Chains A and B, each alone.
Chain A
C-alpha cells in the first residue's frame, strides 16, 4: 500500500516539470510590453528598411515616447498603427478586435478604373461567372477581354480552358488587373503559364534570414512554367493601376521578362514583399513584409510599384470612354 501511495505521489510530482521546462507565460496587456514586442519583431524580420530609408531606431524612440503603462488600448492601437504606417507598406497591418490599421496606397493615388464604363460602352454580352472572372469580346470580336478581380480567385483549369478557347481566334487578349489587390501568389504562375511556350526566369526573391536589417538569404529564382494544356500565344496587354497590389505587382514584374506581354496604365501599387503573420502578447495580430522581389537585374523597385510600358490614365470627366482600354486596343491592332 505504501508503495502505491509513493507511486501516485511520484506520478503527480512529475507534472510540475511543465513549469520547469516551459518558459513563463508571456501574455500581457501592458502597452509597453506589446509595443516592444512588435517593434522587435519588425526589427528582426522586416525586409524594406534600406529601400525606404527608414531608421527604425528613430521610430522606436518617436512612438514609444507617446505611450506609458497607463495608456489604454485605443491609444496603444493608434501609436502602433502610426508606427507601422511609417513603413508605407500595404502588406503591414495591425489587427485588433476593434480596428485594423492600413496604409491604403490606393486611396493616396489616382483611381484609374471604372468597370461600369466597360459593361455599358464596350462589351454587350459580358460573361460574369460565379468565380467573378468577367470576360467578353471587344472590337468586333477581334480582341478578347478578361477582368481578373483578385488573385484570391482560384480558377480551375477547365474554367481557364473555356475562356482561352473562346478567344482563340482573336488577335490578342486584354487582361484587366486594375484594382486587383492581390491574393494567392500560386495563381501568378497558373495564369502566366498560359501565355508562354518555354520555362522562363522572370524575377528573384530574397528573404530575411537573420536579425541584422540587411541580412537576407540567397536569391531564389521565380520561374514561370508553361501550362501543360491549352495556351494562348498571341499578344497580351495587361492593364494596371495603383490599386494593383501584391500578387498583381508580382505578375506585372514577371511580364517585363516576357516579350509578348505589354503593361499599360499606371504604376502598380507595390507590395513586392511576402507578408508573414504573428501575434502580440495581448492577443492582437499583425503582419508585415519579410521578403523582397527583385527584377532580373537585381533591382527591388517592385515594392514601390512596377511602372507600365505605356502610361495612360482614366479621364473621369467622360465616363463613356476608358482611355486605358483604348490604348490597349490600339496596341493590339
Chain B
C-alpha cells in the first residue's frame, strides 16, 4: 500500500509539473512574431502496415499476433520553436494465437482486433542544446486508445473492449539531412542527377507518466446480462468494466524520414513502436505494435 501511494504521488506530481510549469519560457525565447512567421500548418494523411501483438490474461495465457492496416489523419503545426499535433488513427487487424505445434490437430484461434487512437502532442524547443543541424524539443502528449477485440472461441468472453489512456512526457530530436547541392552519379551509359532537397530525420520518444485503463471485472462476465434489467447492447458490454488509475506502463517511439517538396508539401516514411502493460484491477493486458507508415503532408498555410 505504501509503495502504491508513493507511486501515485510521484505520478500526480509529474503530471502537475508538466501541465503547469512554464516550459515555453524555459525552452524558447518569447518571440511570438518570429514563431508566427515560420509556423507551417499541415494536414497529414497516413497509411501503413500494422503488426500488433496482445495478451489478455483474463481469458488466455497466449500471445495473439497478426497483421493489419493503419489509417491516420492529423492536424499538424510545426515551427523551429514549437510543434502541435492532433492525430486520429485506426488500425484493423487479423490475429491468431501463438500456439505450440500439436501432434493431433492444430487448434485454430483467430481473432479480430481494431484499435482507435486519439493523441494530442505539444512540443517546445530546447534552445540551449539545439543548433541549425539538430533541433531538440520537449513536451507532453495525451493519448487514448480504445481496443475492440472479438474472439468467438472464447464464447461469453468473446468481446474485449479495454481503454488505455496515458499522459506522457515527450522528447524529440530532428536532424537536418538535406542534400544542399546537386549530386551527379555517373554509371557510364547514363547519369543520375540528384537535385538539392530538404530532408529531416526525426526521432520521438514518449513515456507514460500517468497511466489509466478500463478493464473488465474479476470473472469477466457482464452484470446486466445477469440482472436482466438492461437490454441495451452498449450498456450490457460496458457495465462491468472498471477504471484503474496510475497503473501500468506505456512507451512509444517514432522514427521518421521526411522529404519536403518544392511546393511546400512533404512525404515521409516512418517506423513506430508502441508497447503497453496494463495490470488493471485483476488480470493484466499487454499489447505492442510495430507500424511502417507512409505519410503525406499537405501544406495548408504559412503564418
Query: Residues of A with Cβ closer than 8 Å to B?
Result: 3-4, 7-8, 10-11, 14-15, 17-18, 21-23, 25-29, 37, 45, 72-74, 95-98, 185-186, 188-190, 202-203, 205, 207-210, 220-225, 250, 254, 274-285, 287, 290-291, 293
Contacts and interface: CB of A to CB of B under 8 A. Distances in A.
19 contacts: A10-B203, A21-B275, A21-B277, A22-B55, A23-B286, A27-B62, A27-B99, A27-B100, A72-B104, A186-B236, A190-B231, A207-B221, A210-B218, A250-B228, A277-B156, A279-B153, A280-B61, A283-B97, A287-B155
Nearest to A278: B59
Contact of A276 (B97, B105, B156, B226): B156
A98 B104 contact: yes
B223 interface: yes
Interface string B285-303: 0101010000000000000
Given A222-B228, A275-B155, A97 B218 contact: no
Interface stretch (B8-16, B33-41, B119-127, B247-255): B247-255
Contacts of A208: 218-219
B214 to A, nearest CB: 18
Contacts of A8: 255
Contacts of A185: 225-226, 228
B225 A186 contact: yes
Query: Which of B103, B218, B255, B286 has the most chain A CB atoms closer than 10 A to its own CB?
Result: B218
B4 interface: no
B219 A45 contact: yes
Contacts of B109: 279, 283, 285
A192 to B, nearest CB: 8
Given A27-B63, A287-B156, 18 more contacts: A7-B173, A14-B251, A15-B290, A22-B277, A45-B218, A96-B107, A97-B107, A202-B228, A208-B218, A209-B218, A220-B227, A222-B229, A275-B156, A276-B155, A276-B156, A276-B221, A281-B100, A291-B226
Interface in B232-250: 236, 249
A275 B59 CA distance: 13
B228 A224 contact: yes
A72 B103 contact: yes
A17 B275 contact: yes
B104 A209 contact: no
B191 interface: no
A247 B228 CA distance: 11
A276 to B, nearest CB: 5
Interface in B86-121: 97-109
B59 A97 contact: no
A220 B228 CA distance: 10
A278 B177 contact: no
Contacts of A96: 104, 107
A18 B227 contact: no
B203 A11 contact: yes
Contacts of B290: 15
A274 B156 contact: yes
B61 A15 contact: no
A311 B302 CA distance: 84
Contact of A223 (B107, B156, B223, B227): B227
Contacts of B286: 21-23
B63 to A, nearest CB: 6
Given A186-B225, A279-B153, A7 B107 contact: no
B33 to A, nearest CB: 32
Interface in B123-159: 134, 153-158
B201 interface: yes
A285 B173 CA distance: 47
A209 B283 CA distance: 12
A210 B218 CA distance: 7
B156 A3 contact: no
B227 A279 contact: no
| A-B pairs with lowest CB-CB distance, top 8 | A277-B155, A283-B107, A283-B99, A279-B60, A26-B61, A97-B105, A277-B154, A205-B226
A274 B229 contact: no
Contacts of A250: 228
B219 A285 contact: no
B106 A97 contact: yes
B213 to A, nearest CB: 15
Contact of A22 (B106, B173, B201, B288): B288
Contact of A278 (B103, B154, B271, B273): B154
B68 interface: no
A205 B227 contact: yes
B251 A17 contact: yes
